[in-house]
Amino acid sequence: MNATTRVGLLGLALALSACSTLEGDKIDYKSATKGSTLEVPPDLTQLSRDSRYTAPGGVVSAAAFQAGQAARPSPTSTAAAVSMGDVRIERDGNQRWLVVKRPSEALWDPVREFWLENGFTLAQEQVKLGIMETDWAENRAKLPQDIIRSTLGKVFESLYSTGERDKFRTRLERDANGNTEIYISHRGMIEVYASAQKDSTIWQPRPVDPELETEFLRRLMVKLGVSQEESKAVAGAPLQRPASARVATVNNAPAIEMDEGFDRAWRRVGLALDRTGFTVEDRDRSQGLYFVRYVEPNADKKEPGFFGKLFSGSTPATPPLKYRVLVRGEGGRSTVSVQNAAGAPDSSANAARIVRVLADDLK
């Protein structure tokens, strides 16, 4: 079925359901695949074998590692915390994460079950690195609950689509006190027409949704033993903070200057790497280093969308390049810079692109 026919049928259903409302405040995910065979490669080249899921370009890939590494204690002066049993929610600006008084090994299975119970297929599971990532999934609660859908049920379920897909990455990181910090980051895609004729569609990145991240953190708290009523504390309004990240040149190399100390900068950079899809091959918090893999852009291919303009949407002819993202704090300020694989400062065009992508998320 081509895109015009499918969208037309959905439009007819919407027209006949004037009294229906979108269940926008609910979550009911259904994975776009039933296994890992259709997993999107790190550059987001393709969402599935169906041409409707061809993404408009790739991104620098990203995952975080080494959950067992010791971390510096998080300061309590800049983050709001709400404790419930051995689980507490920490909040700093629009960023939230869980701190659980259990080892990461004891949390892996419950967290894994949590995503499966919420309708997702896991595309990546790296126990030793403390990373799991879902496949692309659709929030079916956003579909109109009209008379046609309720009558025909699943017979024509494939005719309905929200035109959006989401995936979530969970990162477990051990702190210096033996607790486990749990971060959930969101990435989204949206289906748009590829031409004025509206005879085909493509998928392109859409903005990160912090509210979705918060909602899944709240649900995970319930999975870990917190009551529904207590878990609502996580949904408080974010603490408003002025923009604190800006692109600068430090020692003749591109960098990001942040008006905050190391601990908060480290957390924010880690979340930015997760949200923007980098592949982090290792991390060392004691040195302030994330070891990332980068795919050079394809200058011969036109790529729509923000990330498509920066990164290749096809398999690179050469192996991905390796870089280090260095977070260095001094007092209440931090600097984020890019190093080459040998640890030397990098001032290349690739380093500048990496800095811009991270800065856009950190602003």
For residue 21, the model assigns a pLDDT of: 33
358, 291 Cβ separation under 8 angstroms: no
- Comparing 69 with 211, the larger pLDDT belongs to 211
Tokens standing for residue 141: 């609660």
Q: Which residues pair with 72 in a beta bridge?
A: none
Q: Which two tokens stand for residue 60?
A: 């620098």
pLDDT confidence of residue 331: 87
Beta strands (DSSP E) in 111-236 are: 122-126, 131-134, 137-139, 164-174, 180-193, 201-206
Q: pLDDT higher for 171 or 71?
A: 171
Weakest-pLDDT range from 72-76, 204-208, 275-279, 348-352 = 72-76
pLDDT at residue 19 in the model: 38
Please report which confidence band the pLDDT of residue 320 belongs to, taking 50, 70 and 90 as the band edges: confident
Band of pLDDT at residue 231, cut at 50, 70 and 90: confident
* Nearest-angstrom CA–CA distance, 285 and 28: 36
Q: Which of 70-84, 128-142, 245-259 has the highest mean pLDDT?
A: 245-259
Query: Quick check: 264 pLDDT over 90?
Result: no
**Coil, strand or helix: which one is 130?**
coil
pLDDT > 80? residue 156: no
Q: Which residues contact 243 (CB under 8 A, 6 or more apart)?
A: 363
Task: Name the β-bridge partners of 124.
Answer: 133
Which residues are CB-contacts of 120 (< 8 A; sequence separation ≥ 6)? Answer: 29, 31, 134, 135, 137, 168
pLDDT tens-digit profile of 288-311?
A: 999 998 776 543 444 444 444 444
**Alpha helices of 179-337 — where are they, by DSSP H?**
210-223, 228-231, 262-276
Please state, in angstroms and rounded to a whole number, the distance separating the CA atoms of residues 156 and 160. Answer: 8
Q: Looking at residue 278, what is its pLDDT?
A: 83
Average pLDDT of the chain to the nearest whole number: 74
pLDDT recorded at residue 345: 94
pLDDT digits (tens, 9 = 90+) for 1-23: 555 444 444 444 434 333 333 33
Better pLDDT: 237 or 62 = 237
Which residues have CB under 8 Å from 96's CB, separation 6+?
A: 89, 90, 213, 214, 217, 234
Measured from the Cβ of residue 14, the count of other Cβ atoms closer than 10 Å reads: 16
pTM, rounded to two decimals: 0.67
Q: Say yes or no to pLDDT of 69 above 70.
A: no
